[in-house]
Amino acid sequence: MKCRVCRGPAAVDIRRHNAAFCPEHFVHHCREQVRRAIKEHGMLGAGERVLVAVSGGKDSLALWDLLVALGYDADGLYLGLGIGGYSDRSGDAARAYADARDRKLHEVDLAGDYGYDIPGAAAATRRAPCGACGLSKRHLFNTIAIERGYDVIATGHNLDDEAAVLLGNVMRWEPGYLGRQHPVLPATPGFARKVKPLIRLGERETAAYCVLESIDYIVEECPMAEGNRHLGYKEVLNDLEDRSPGTKAAFLFGFLDRAQPLFAGDARDEREGLGECAICGSPTTGEICAFCRLRARAGGA
Amino acid sequence: MKVLLRNPRRELELPGPLTVATLLDRLELNPESVLVICGDTLVTRDARLSDGDTVEIRPVMSGGAS
């Protein structure tokens, strides 16, 4: 295959675009997709301080790299989850990237700073570890962004992630979740703005970007995510995409254009009914927020 | 050719020449879910792989639903 732009030998083919790119023009393609996503959805303003949620994986490191390449003032936040050697290696990848590029990386350790880890929380609550992990991340990224004066949190959710989440939300008809599924969640009292600038890039593209830009990310999958429902949805969508390229993008962007606004009211109603957690002050529907309840059950408070 | 697979990590020895698309088909891998790296170079699905090549098939699917 030849590069769509320069006709030189291609390194990456993207079937949904019916295109292939050489390394130089593929990197340019990734930057343009992120620039376009930011502009289309009004994600970031000039001079804003961005906190990138960094896991050490391909998506978050590619995101950090792309935002800095586009001129944004972006620092990283790594959350140590306590998942054995996997967490050790993912932390090493995040630190190595920050050191090599001379970028600021904040670090928070669940066990050291909050008294619990994800395996312990999953055992204590008898819930899937991904639930405790997602809850901890959402709460702490938000809290730390606000405490440390960042305007916005950027996460590495890509087109595949969002299409899989959408499929899950549609399969269970979750109106609140469907209303919240948007590349930008605006700031409201107690919540920092959250943005997903990789929404126009698939995970094959973020992985290829890291390879071509010599970004060493953790390739192994989280041992606690193995066999989870989200990965099952991704497999189903990839089967459809292989038969009909462009299916994932049509599914996600069609939803955002034509269906998400129909559910936005459900998400607004949920946010407007929130009070303050009696322990940490975060927004919550009850007296104690889900994070503080999780922490207490997992032995951290 | 030597083929390196991950998650779990394992190695296969396969005869060449063959294209990337044929290799993935033989291994029953969805091209949407992997990158193929020949030596140090990313390659597209029409690339031809030869007997002496070392080929990494790197999975790209990741994540919990957080």
Beta-carbon neighbour count of residue A97 at 10 Å? 23
Query: What is this structure's pTM?
Result: 0.95
Residue of B nearest to A164 (CA): B65
Q: Return d(Cα A29, Cα B65) in angstroms, integer.
A: 27
Q: Return d(Cα A249, Cα A204) in angstroms, integer.
A: 14
Return the pLDDT at A127: 83
Q: Return d(Cα A80, Cα A289) in angstroms, integer.
A: 21
From chain B, the residues in CB contact with A110 under 8 A are none
Among partner residues B32, B44, B62, which is closest to A1 by beta-carbon distance? B44
Residue whose tokens read 């009696």: A278
Residue whose tokens read 């990494």: B56
Nearest to A77 by CA among A144, A149, A131: A144
Say if strands B48-49 and A49-54 run parallel, antiparallel, or are unpaired: unpaired
ipTM above 0.90, yes or no: yes
Q: What is the mean pLDDT of residues B40-65?
A: 92
Each residue's pLDDT, cut to its tens digit, for chain A (301 residues) gives: 999 999 999 999 999 999 999 999 999 999 999 999 999 999 999 999 999 999 999 999 999 999 999 999 999 999 999 999 999 999 999 999 999 999 999 999 999 999 999 999 999 998 889 999 999 999 999 999 999 999 999 999 999 999 999 999 999 999 989 999 999 999 999 999 999 999 999 999 999 999 999 999 999 888 988 878 899 999 999 999 999 999 999 999 999 999 999 998 877 777 777 899 999 999 999 999 999 999 999 986 6
Return the pLDDT at B64: 57
**Quick one: residue A208, left, alpha or beta (phi over 0 = left, psi -120 to 50 = alpha)?**
alpha
From chain B, the residues in CB contact with A132 under 8 A are none
Q: Return d(Cα A215, Cα A103) in angstroms, integer.
A: 14
Residues 15 to 74 of A: which have CB under 8 A from any B CB?
20, 23, 57-59
Which tens digits make up the pLDDT trace of B12-52?
999 989 999 999 999 999 999 999 999 999 999 999 999 99
Return the pLDDT at B8: 84
Residues 27 to 66 of B: which have CB under 8 A from any A CB?
30-35, 37, 41-46, 58-66
Nearest to A48 by CA among A202, A247, A193: A193
Return the pLDDT at A221: 87
Report in angstroms the alpha-carbon separations of A268 from A142, A177, A264, A281.
Answer: 18, 11, 6, 20
Among partner residues B7, B30, B46, which is closest to A242 by beta-carbon distance? B30
The sign of the dihedral angle between the CA atoms of A51, A55, A59, A61 is positive
Instruction: Say if A2 is an interface residue toward chain B (CB within 8 Å).
Output: no
Residues 65 to 124 of A: which have CB under 8 A from any B CB?
none
Beta-carbon neighbour count of residue A173 at 10 Å? 8
